[in-house]
Structure 1
């Protein structure tokens, strides 16, 4: 059986870094507490948004205000500032045509992840979405990956998780799936290797080849 493939969204399938950083900057304009730098915010990409905002806010009301400001900018500029990485749509279509079952595993809200997939033309190729609304615990916990495996009906031994952040790698490893780190997103090869990725790739075009290299379990 061909391995199922789980994909992260931001930094893996879509280039949304400018949107993410712009939304964060907008959220913290006029904020009287500690304001994250771009580098600090980049390091938290892959974690649920509200979880990160609560680490800067002094109470839940302040976190909600930051969330509303973040969302306002994000939704206003969403379609203009996200795009699929070059070659991603063609690669995902090739994998689907070859018979690989696929799911999205993201810390983004389910509805927003679905909006992004629709905008870049991946919604029909990856119809199964596990976002932060689908789970109680989030990356780097294994629950999102385990949820995706259950929805696809495949064992961990017959699945790969492709992602650009250490949170993806740690979540996949904890769930028992093999992990492919990518370096075209927000994190470096060194960061992905330190997280324990089974393989790290630098080009979208490598995905077809490396997926074929992972052996199908027997027995």
Structure 2
């Protein structure tokens, strides 16, 4: 897999660029406390993130013993809490800044493609100094459907003016692989991400790497 074979790359955010479990942990704990519910464990959060905020909130309510009828209240409280701490309890993974720079130097057009709400994604990228390398940032609310549906990848390729077969998807979970396969994009996973408690190798990517800057070697 050579960078010269690609014109663009779509890159996931949580678990791929930034370790955001700390942010999720704090925001969810505050949300559950507002509802009089106990906090959920970090391991549960790692298994659950990646399919959008709606899925995260519903799953967390169930895990904490809350009623589904509390969803709207939980959603509103979570949005407020997450916005207030976004990026404060997270860290950029080793090799990410260097990897992004090398992808740009290789001439690839880059878009961040995440299931996180777009406003939160842009806020986080700016807070971590990663926003300048991306031509676009698309979130889970940018299109009619989220990953693992291929639609976000198809639309992101269109926005970048790149054919799917020449656009590399870089992520951390089987959702990224399923979306990439459906869209016709080659796909690479990072080994350190949040693949729903499963090894990255089990997701069927074209390649699995330890650091993002490995792609340019």
TM-score, scaled to structure 2 = 0.84
Cα distance between partner residues in 1 of 2:185 and 2:68: 37
Verify: 1:88 aligned to 2:96, yes or no.
yes
Cα distance between partner residues in 2 of 1:83 and 1:162: 18
Partner residue in 1 for 2:68: 58
Cα distance between partner residues in 1 of 2:198 and 2:14: 19
Verify: 1:122 aligned to 2:146, yes or no.
no
Q: Deviations over 1:135-193 (max 9, x none)?
A: 11111111111111110111111011111122112111111111101022223895322
SS at match of 1:81: coil
Can you give the 5+ residue segments of structure 2 that lack an aligned partner in the other structure? none
Q: 2:201 aligns with which of 168, 178, 193?
A: 193
Cα distance between partner residues in 1 of 2:100 and 2:56: 30
Partner residue in 2 for 1:214: none
Verify: 1:46 aligned to 2:50, yes or no.
yes
Q: What's the offset of the Cα at 1:128? A: 0.7
Contact 1:164–1:184 (8 Å) recurs in 2: yes
Partner residue in 2 for 1:215: none
Can you give the 5+ residue segments of structure 1 that lack an aligned partner in the other structure? 210-219
Cα distance between partner residues in 2 of 1:32 and 1:68: 15
CA gap of 1:185–1:201, structure 2 versus 1, over 3 A, is same
CA gap of 1:194–1:48, structure 2 versus 1, over 3 A, is same
Q: What's the offset of the Cα at 1:66? A: 1.1
TM-score, scaled to structure 1 = 0.84
Q: 1:24 aligns with which of 24, 28, 35?
A: 28
| Paired residues for 1:132-151 under 5 Å | 132-151=140-159
The aligned length equals 207
Verify: 1:105 aligned to 2:98, yes or no.
no
Contact 2:150–2:179 (8 Å) recurs in 1: yes
CA gap of 1:135–1:34, structure 2 versus 1, over 3 A, is farther
Contact 1:182–1:189 (8 Å) recurs in 2: no
